[in-house]
Structure 1
Amino acid sequence: MIEFKLDPKSGIPFYRQIIDQIRYGVGSGELKVGEQLPTVRALAVELKVNLNTVSKAYRELEIQSVLETQQGTGTFIGPVSVQ
């Protein structure tokens, strides 16, 4: 599991920073296909951001097929490679 870090001074929205970190983790092999990510609530609490921020990042990554959400089970790294 990667350690998420947000930089409030970067000028990049937090949701975009989360997306970039997950994509980097997948691309570098640090996050493996099928690996479970923290829940939206857990990651929001950990990063001290609004639930909607994490939810937006996860949704965008689902659209890109980087993540798969299984109702009642969790959010996992999908089988799509990241460039």
Structure 2
Amino acid sequence: MNIGQEFLISLFIQLVILAFFVGIYVATIKFMDSQIKELKEEMKRYNNVLERLIITEQCTKSAHHRIDELEDRFNK
């Protein structure tokens, strides 16, 4: 083999390796993007549950106040 052929073979191998790493990089970015989207959806569901829990706690507190008022009226 002469130097020109060796150079071309070396260049080809380097391009294949570069393409391999670029492919891995792109696949990793796509995977991370999908994981971030899933995490965002989970956070939306969690925030929705948290908001509903706060409303439920407020309603429960209000109900306890009404019960206490009724007990006070009944016990008088």
Instruction: Report the TM range for the smaller structure's normalisation.
Output: under 0.3
Q: Given the two structures, how large is their TM-score scaled by the length of structure 2?
A: 0.23
* Larger strand share, 1 or 2: 1
**TM-score where L is the length of structure 1:** 0.21
Highest Rg: 1 or 2?
A: 2
Higher helix share: 2
Q: Which structure ranks higher in relative contact order (CA pairs < 8 Å, sequence separation ≥ 6)?
A: 1
